[in-house]
């Protein structure tokens, strides 16, 4: 991945595709490692197919779609958590991935220790994290649990800590993947207020099943269906089309099957 040549484009994807390797038997992965040059021992499960999009600096993008459509995988690729199977991706700017950061916490370490690690992962120097620690702890609002192992935290507490770290890294791009759905109402309001302020200068990528939040926070919506962009544009228009599809189109469970192999890449 390389930086975009345009200062106005912070995320640019061209024909992006992502396939996971599904193995029918436990030892097939070893066969793939040893003999994969000769024969494939897995079935490709295409989660993303030919995604092309541009996100401009200062935009707030809401990403919609049914469970399993690929929207979270798209954010993971953008954040660098997983590599695309094909296509091009350019990202310009520091990313703060809220839910992704929480999922990488070391469960045996304390919240305090995970703040230091998380800050370093997101590009902060140790001295910067220490200087901001009291503010991070106050925003998270988990009290004495800050010095307890994260394995004793609820999912909501982990989300509080992850969001608080991301809120203090001075990132240009904020990625929020359903993080607000596991917090209590008071913390949700605090996060939404913070995001409102962040949007004045930063770029937001926001996955949510809450259409009210998408309408409130986003200037553009992208509807992902079966790993492809089905529609994008004004949030109200896209949400209306999405709701109509949910009512009249049958939910196809085949999208969770390895037999979804409508290959996205040339030659696949």
pLDDT number for residue 57: 93
- What CATH number corresponds to the domain at position 229? 3.40.50.300
* Structural domain includes residue 160: no
196-226 confidence digits (pLDDT tens):
899 999 999 998 888 988 998 999 999 999 8
Query: Three-class SS of residue 49?
Result: strand
- pTM for this prediction: 0.81
Q: Is the dihedral of CA 31, 35, 37, 40 positive or negative?
A: negative
Element (H, E) at 16: strand 9-22
- Structural domain harbouring 33: 9-93+172-256
| Mean pLDDT value of segment 41-63 | 91
CB 140 within 8 A of CB 114: no
pLDDT number for residue 255: 57
- Give exposure, 194-226, as e/b (b: 16+ Cβ within 10 Å): bbeebbeebbbbbbbeebebbeebbebbbbbbb
Q: What percent of the chain has pLDDT over 70?
A: 87
pLDDT > 60? residue 5: no
* Structural domain includes residue 45: yes
pLDDT number for residue 202: 93
CB 11 within 8 A of CB 30: no
| Mean pLDDT value of segment 44-56 | 92
Token output for 84: 């695309």
Token output for 223: 């509807």
* Structural domain includes residue 51: yes
pLDDT number for residue 180: 66
User: Which has the closest alpha carbon to 163: 186, 204, 197, 194?
Assistant: 194
* Structural domain includes residue 203: yes
* Structural domain includes residue 237: yes
Quick one: DSSP state of residue 180? G
Confidence of residue 253 (pLDDT cuts 50, 70, 90): low
CA distances for 3 relative to 13, 221, 236, angstroms? 12, 24, 32
* Structural domain includes residue 121: no
> What is the number of domains present in the chain?
1
* Structural domain includes residue 115: no
- Average pLDDT taken over every residue of the chain: 85
pLDDT > 70? residue 4: no
Q: How many CB atoms lie within 10 A of CB 25?
A: 9
* Structural domain includes residue 162: no
């Amino acid at each position: 991945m390389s930086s975009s040549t345009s200062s106005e484009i912070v995320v640019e994807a061209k024909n992006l595709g992502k396939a996971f390797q599904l193995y029918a038997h436990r030892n097939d992965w070893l066969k793939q490692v040893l003999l994969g040059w000769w024969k494939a021992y897995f079935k490709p499960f295409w989660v993303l197919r030919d995604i092309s999009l541009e996100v401009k600096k200062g935009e707030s993008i809401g990403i919609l779609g049914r469970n399993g459509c690929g929207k979270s995988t798209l954010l993971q690729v953008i954040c660098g958590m997983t590599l695309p199977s094909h296509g091009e991706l350019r990202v310009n700017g520091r990313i703060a991935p809220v839910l992704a950061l929480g999922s990488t916490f070391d469960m045996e370490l304390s919240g305090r220790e995970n703040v230091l690690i998380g800050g370093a992962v997101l590009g902060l120097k140790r001295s910067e994290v220490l200087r901001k620690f009291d503010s991070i702890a106050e925003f998270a609002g988990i009290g004495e649990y800050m010095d307890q192992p994260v394995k004793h935290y609820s999912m909501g507490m982990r989300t509080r800590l992850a969001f608080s770290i991301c809120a203090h890294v001075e990132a240009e791009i904020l990625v929020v993947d359903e993080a607000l759905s596991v917090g209590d109402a008071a913390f949700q309001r605090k996060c939404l207020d913070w995001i409102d302020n962040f949007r004045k200068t930063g770029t937001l990528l926001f996955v949510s099943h809450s259409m009210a939040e998408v309408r409130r926070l986003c200037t553009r919506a992208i509807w992902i269906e079966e790993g492809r962009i089905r529609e994008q544009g004004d949030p109200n228009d896209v949400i209306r089309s999405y709701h109509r599809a949910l009512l009249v189109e049958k939910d196809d469970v085949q999208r969770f099957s390895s037999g979804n192999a409508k290959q996205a890449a040339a030659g696949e």
